[in-house]
Amino acid sequence: MSTAQSSRAAQASAARRRAVIDALRRGAVPEAGLDLLATGLGRFDTALDEELNAVASGASVFKAVRGEYGSGKTFFTRWLGERAKRLGFAVAEVQISETETPLHRLETVYRRLTERLSTASFPPSALRPVVDAWFYALEEDALAAGASEEELAEEVEKLLIARLAEVSRHAPSFATALRGYRSALAGGDEATASAVLAWLGGQPHVAAAARRSAGVRGDLDHFGALGFLQGLLTVLRDSGHRGLFMVLDEVETLQRVRSDARDKALNALRQLIDEVHSGRFPGLYLVITGTPAFYDGRQGVQRLAPLAQRLATDFTTDPRFDNPRAVQLRLPGFTQESLIELGVTIRDLYLAGAGAPDRIMAYADDAYIADLARSVGGALGGKAGVAPRLFLKKLVGDVLDRIDQFEDFDPRKHYRLTVASAELTDMERNLMAAASADDIALDV
């Protein structure tokens, strides 16, 4: 592990270390603390920070991340989201799926965005704290301009109209709903205020009485969602946030939907990219993730020529020379060497909060971690690139925890790597089946 990584691990709080280790023990990507684990991402730092700073200054950026299953796409976007949050961005990660969040229905995507919205101070959903902070900022601006207490409500209304003037050209109901929310709060009607805010967040089936009191009708539709996104960006900016970092994860699921829904979704993605590039969404950093098959295959991006043109990126050169400023970023996945390096990083992070660090260093030394990495990769058909999740789960839960708790546990004597189908993802299960029809037991 590098000196910088060792320093981060030593300085990390016990709560951050625990959250990361607990997630790895479950076989999940941690929600936070990813800077403690990042290996091999330094080549992206400069370009991505430049883009985040540009967005914080009012620009907008679209980025496509490509990589095979297990190459670290979710880790990468959460790592980048943490960097954005430290710069003052709000962050939201939306999982695209055929049934829950179809991309061709942008109103559903917007609803998931507001449900997953988080900031450095508030976990999901941070929509209400953001809106409340916005109204507080409007009041402060009105008072600073000389408004008296008696004039405050009227002056805040004027500022609301002025700040949302551009938004109201496309989605006038956004400003109307905000007025309704503020009015309900002023009248002490918490139930109506909550219902109106839910409608503002794209939730369907809001009580008709609450909608009538706010002066809005119906539910949010596909086209209104873009206007509401524009309004949310304005509210975020005026409430002290420098922008919104938004991830549309697992976009490759579009390849499995009906052809008519797929075509609508691809066109919605093309429309969204064009709107970002047109400058309609200042303060938005939008990222999508997908597999190479999605970007290059006939059932994905290549199905819509205008979209393929917008995402075209040259990947014929050595990955070392990939351009991190390009519209697409390639994640080559883990090699055996980088998997071992990651294992050593996790071991050292675990040490910082372990009860028996000396014993862990003796029994889980670098050589043992290399052996375990090779064994897990072998259990998955020799595919080290898709092994990180399972490898880290085994390393933390089966090896490090046991060494830390049992004085006489020696993983070389007492642990036998067993990989059962039930603990695998579909992709891992397919790779394992290609290697063996049975559970694989390997001595490490």
Instruction: Report how many helices (DSSP H) and strands (DSSP E) the chain contains, helices first.
Output: 22, 7
Give yes or no for a contact between 394 and 417, defined as CB atoms under 8 angstroms apart.
Answer: yes
**Residue 86, strand partner residues:** none
Rounded alpha-carbon distances, angstroms, from residue 111 to 97, 108, 207, 229, 270: 14, 5, 17, 10, 20
pLDDT tens, the chain, 444 aa long? 444 555 555 567 888 889 999 999 998 888 888 888 877 788 899 999 999 999 999 999 999 999 988 788 988 999 999 999 999 999 999 999 988 999 999 999 999 999 999 999 999 999 999 999 999 999 999 999 999 988 999 999 999 999 999 899 889 999 999 999 999 999 999 999 999 999 999 999 999 999 999 999 999 998 899 999 999 999 999 999 999 999 999 999 999 899 999 999 999 999 999 999 999 999 999 999 999 999 999 999 999 999 999 999 999 999 889 999 999 999 887 788 888 898 999 999 999 889 999 999 999 999 999 999 888 877 665 555 556 888 899 999 999 999 999 999 999 999 988 776 676 666 666 655 554 444 444 444
Rounded alpha-carbon distances, angstroms, from residue 315 to 66, 255, 297, 304, 321: 11, 22, 15, 20, 9
Taking the C-alpha atoms of residue 151 and residue 215, their distance in angstroms, rounded to an integer, is: 23
Rounded (10°) CA dihedral 128, 134, 139, 144: 150
Task: Give me 175's structure tokens.
Answer: 């400003």
How confident is the model at residue 417, as a pLDDT? 85
**Other CB atoms within 10 Å distance of the CB of residue 329:** 23
How confident is the model at residue 429, as a pLDDT? 63
3-state class of 352 per DSSP?
A: coil
How confident is the model at residue 390, as a pLDDT? 86
Q: What are phi and psi of 441, to 5 degrees?
A: -120, 120
3-state class of 217 per DSSP?
A: coil
For residue 57, the 8-state DSSP code is T
Task: Give me 285's structure tokens.
Answer: 């950093």
**Residue 244, strand partner residues:** 90, 284
3-state class of 248 per DSSP?
A: strand
Indicate the pairing of strand 416-419 with strand 328-330: unpaired
Buried b / exposed e over 385-403, threshold 16 CB at 10 Å, is: bbbbbbbbbbbbebbbbbb
Task: Give me 72's structure tokens.
Answer: 């670290």
Give yes or no for a contact between 69 and 63, defined as CB atoms under 8 angstroms apart.
Answer: no
Buried b / exposed e over 17-27, threshold 16 CB at 10 Å, is: bebbbebbbeb
3-state class of 166 per DSSP?
A: helix
Give yes or no for a contact between 113 and 96, defined as CB atoms under 8 angstroms apart.
Answer: no
- Non-local CB neighbours of 358 within 8 Å, separated by 6+ positions: none
The sign of the CA dihedral 407, 413, 414, 417 is: positive
How confident is the model at residue 421, as a pLDDT? 67
3-state class of 28 per DSSP?
A: coil
Where would I find the H helices in 221-324?
222-238, 259-278, 292-296, 305-311
For residue 98, the 8-state DSSP code is S
